[in-house]
Amino acid sequence: MITVANYLEKKDTIDWSKVPSAIKAAREDVELDFDLYEDAVDVKKLIDLYITGINESQAITSTEKLKQTIEKDFGKSDNIVFVAPQKEEVGSFNLIAYAKFKGDKKFGAMDMSEGRQVGNLMYATLIPIASKQKAINILNKSKEAGEIEEFELRIGGTNKVEYSSLKSAKSQSQSKDLYIVKDGKVLTNHGMKDYSFTDNPEFAHRFEDIDFAKRMAKNYDAKIVDGFELMKSEIENYVKSSTKASAPAKIKPIKPTIAKNFVDNFSIEFQLIRRFWNIVDDGVKDVPFRKVQLLFNAFNKAALERKIRKTNDVADLFTKCSKYITRLYNEFAAPKKSDVDVELTDKTLYEEIKKYCTNVAVNPAVSVLKRYIS
C-alpha cells in the first residue's frame, strides 16, 4: 500500500497505466508539494486525495485475486512435483508447505505429506489443517494411533524424522484419497478407516475438482518455506500472542514544528545546492557517473552564464559546493567514467547545506494559485 511516507520510495513500483489521467496530470505538482505536507492544510488534503486515488487504482479485484491464488498455489497440474536429483529415498527432502488461516479468530496450517521418488522427481501432497487446535498439536510429539480421527504425519528434515499426532476431518470426501508416509512406506486410506500400503508411483494429492481448489483458495494463503523450524516458530509465536495481554496503545510523540522560509519559487542556486545535498546526504553513498557528470555541468553552466552573483546571500555556499563537485568529477568520476563512493567529511559544510535545503519551501498560496490558473 502506498502512503505519504513511502510514496517517493515506491513510486516506481506503481502501475501508472491503471492510474486515472486526472491523477497522473497532477503528479509533477503534487511531488513538489510533499515538503509542505505538515505545514499547509490544503496541500495535506490534496496529497491525501492523490495517494487514495493511486491506491484505489492499484487494488486487485476479488476475482483477480482468486484466479492468482489458484494459479500460484495450486496450479493446473494434477500433481505437486519437486525436482530432487540428490535425494535417494522417500522423505529425504525438507520442504514444508504451510498456510495462515485468513482472519484473526482462527489459525490454520498446511503440512506436506511426503511421497515417493521416481527417477529425479519427488511427489508430495498438501494436507490442510483447518483449526487453531490442530495447528498447536504439531508441537505435541505424542504418537497415538488407531483412532479414526487421528493420523501420523511425517514432517521432518533430511537427517531427523519427527511425527505429530493431528486430528483430521471426520469426512474426507472432499480431499479424495489421503496419503501419508510411515516408517518409510507410502500408505493410503482410500477414504476408509485403516491405512494400507500403496505402490502408486504418482503419489500426490490430485486437484481434479476445481471447485475444491477454489474453496481451498478462499481459506488459505499457501506458500513454501525451507525447514520445519520456521513453521514451528510461526505456530509458537501465534500461541504466545494469543495468550499475551493486549499491549497499551502507543502515544505518538508530537514532532516540533520548524519555521520554514517560504519563497515564491525555487531559485537556480537552491535547486543546484539541493541536488548536491541529495548525493552527499546519509553518509557514504554510491553515486552513478552520469549523475555526477550532469550536476558538474549544471554548476558550470550557472557560473558561465553568471546566474549566481557575488552579492547573492548564498554565493559563498554555492562556491563551496561547486568546488566540491568539480573535484569529485575531475579527480574521481571522469578518469574512469565510473560510479563513485561519496561522503562529505566536512561536517560544518554538511550542516550548513542541510540547514539551507531543509528550511526552504514554496509558499502554499503560490501552489494553489498555479493549480487554479491551470
The tens digit of pLDDT for each residue in 163-218 reads 222 223 333 333 344 444 444 444 454 444 444 544 443 333 332 333 333 443 33
For residues 286 and 128, which has the higher predicted lDDT (pLDDT)? 286
Residue type, 247: A
Q: What dihedral angle (degrees, nearest 10) is formed by the CA atoms of 338, 343, 344, 347?
A: 180
Report how far Cα 266 is from the mean position of its chain's Cα atoms: 35
**What does the pLDDT read at residue 251?**
66
Q: Give, as one character, the DSSP assignment of residue 338.
A: -
Cα separation, 207 vs 332, in Å, equals 61
The pTM is what? 0.33
8 Å CB contact between 95 and 125: no
The tens digit of pLDDT for each residue in 264-283 reads 778 888 889 889 988 888 77
First to last CA, the chain: 30
**What does the pLDDT read at residue 226?**
34
According to the 3-state scheme, what is the secondary structure of 187-253? EECCCCCCCEECCCCCCCCCCCCHHHHHHHHHHEEEEEEECHHHHHHHHHHHHHHHHCCCCCCCCCC
The tens digit of pLDDT for each residue in 279-319 reads 888 777 788 899 999 999 999 898 888 888 888 888 899 99
Q: State yes or no: pLDDT of 110 exceeds 50.
A: no
For residues 19 and 247, which has the higher predicted lDDT (pLDDT)? 19
355 falls in which pLDDT band (50, 70, 90)? confident
Q: State yes or no: pLDDT of 155 exceeds 60.
A: no
